Amino acid sequence: MPKMTNSTAYEEKRTSEVTQLGAEKTVYRYEYAPEVLETFENVHPEKDYWVTLNADEFTSLCPITNQPDFATLIINYIPDLRMVESKSLKLYLFSFMNSGEFHEDVVNKIGKDLAVLMSPKYLEVVGLFYPRGNISIHPTFSFHNGEAKYEEIEKYRFMNRNINPQRIG
Amino acid sequence: MALGTVDIIEHTHIEYMTPELLFLGKSGQPYRGTVYIHFISEGKSIDLLDLKKYITSLRSCTFMAENIAYEIYSKINMVLEVDTLGVIVDLSARGGIQQRIQFGENFEPAKKQHVFQIP
């Protein structure tokens, strides 16, 4: 029974932390809106674990031609005290819909926003953009919190990124 | 916007595919999908630049998801007027449910990421 009490307390706390999830009316923003991002508490901060978020419906506009771009975004992170709430992430990613963004810039922008939001131990954002002019661009952003272990992870993953070049996506 | 046409040889089987459909659902939520268009030419096809612009223009339009295939079908049918026209739209899952919407002639879409992909 005490476990039930703890669980309920946690659920109540988590519910109070987020406003988008379960909202009766969802407001979709079509211009860059980092303020919609929300976090909730990581209740297992003593344990390092990976969280992967795949976003197959990312779209923005080319800042020069205004033509739409599309991508799958893959976000991998090791949480510290806060974690990104996935509905707010969905709304945040949709908000790029009418924003003019270069592929390399937008991946860095998203990575920096998430790093500021969550202060994770480690974070990376990979953008698999659809080809334009027969060329697809796949930028990768990475971040670590300064601790030696996560710096080592970033260094390892950075140095081994696409070490055997091949077509991906 | 009006779609232009180009003159081509009759009885040519044509299938267009784009995975870059985006429109707004009734809730305002953007919907992503892949569009397949198939017809047998009666001497005309669609100008591809116009088709691209038309598909892009749907980004700011609001539809019931179930009506999106009809919207595209009717737009193309206005300029082609072929009995064999069919439009299929595969929408990204919403709430764990995937939707395939089809209007006009039925056909089996060729599923390839790019033309060089081995089936």
Q: Report the pLDDT averaged over residues A28-37.
A: 96
User: Which is more confident, A23 or A143?
Assistant: A143
pLDDT at A5 over 60: no
If pLDDT is split at 50, 70 and 90, which confidence band does A169 have? low
Kindly state whether residue B115 falls inside one of the protein's structural domains: no
If pLDDT is split at 50, 70 and 90, which confidence band does A142 have? very high
Residue A105 is among the residues annotated as catalytic for this protein: no
The alpha-carbon gap from B102 to the nearest alpha carbon of chain A, in Å, equals 21
Kindly state whether residue B43 falls inside one of the protein's structural domains: yes
User: Which is more confident, B50 or A18?
Assistant: B50
> For B60, which DSSP code?
G
Residues forming a β-bridge with B97? B94
Report the number of distinct structural domains present in chain B.
1
Give pLDDT, residue A1: 46
Q: Report the pLDDT averaged over residues A98-127.
A: 97
Candidate from A5-9, A65-69, A72-76, B55-59 with smallest mean pLDDT? A5-9
If pLDDT is split at 50, 70 and 90, which confidence band does A29 have? very high
**Chain mean position to CA A3:** 32
If pLDDT is split at 50, 70 and 90, which confidence band does A19 have? confident
Supply the range of the domain harboring residue B41.
5-104
DSSP string over chain A: -HHHHHHHHHHHHHHHH-SSTT-SSPPP--S--GGG--EEE-S-TTS---EEEEEEEEEEE-TTT--EEEEEEEEEEE-SSEEE-HHHHHHHHHTTTT-B--HHHHHHHHHHHHHHHH--SEEEEEEEEPPBTTB----EEEEE-S-HHHHHHHHHHHHHTTSS-----
The alpha-carbon gap from B70 to the nearest alpha carbon of chain A, in Å, equals 23
Give pLDDT, residue A8: 73
Give pLDDT, residue B81: 83
Per-residue pLDDT of chain B in tens (119 residues, 90 and over written 9): 789 999 999 999 999 999 999 999 999 999 999 999 999 999 999 999 999 999 999 999 999 999 999 999 999 999 998 999 999 999 999 988 999 999 999 999 987 665 555 55
B13-24 and B30-40 beta bridge pairing: antiparallel
Token pair 């299929």 in the structure block, residue: B88
Kindly state whether residue B117 falls inside one of the protein's structural domains: no
Give pLDDT, residue A6: 60
pLDDT at A133 over 90: no
CATH number for the domain formed by residue range(s) A2-160: 3.30.1130.10
Establish whether this prediction's ipTM goes over 0.90.
Answer: no
CATH number (domain holding residue B89): 3.30.1130.10
- Average pLDDT of chain A to the nearest whole number: 90
From the list A104, A110, A106, A120, the residue with the least C-alpha distance to A89 is: A110
Kindly state whether residue B119 falls inside one of the protein's structural domains: no
pLDDT at A131 over 60: yes
Q: Report the pLDDT averaged over residues A76-94.
A: 97
Give pLDDT, residue B118: 59
Do the chains contact at B22 and A130, CB–CB below 8 Å?
no
Q: Report the pLDDT averaged over residues A91-115.
A: 97
Give pLDDT, residue B117: 59
Kindly state whether residue B87 falls inside one of the protein's structural domains: yes
H or E stretch at B39: strand B30-40
Give pLDDT, residue A146: 98
Residue A80 is among the residues annotated as catalytic for this protein: no
Kindly state whether residue B83 falls inside one of the protein's structural domains: yes
Residues of chain A whose beta carbon is less than 8 angstroms from a beta carbon of chain B are 26-28, 56-57, 59, 67-68, 70, 94, 97, 130
Kindly state whether residue B42 falls inside one of the protein's structural domains: yes
pTM to 2 decimals? Answer: 0.87
Which residues does chain A have within 8 Å of residue B20's beta carbon, measured at their own beta carbons?
68, 70, 130
Nearest CA in chain B to A91: B29
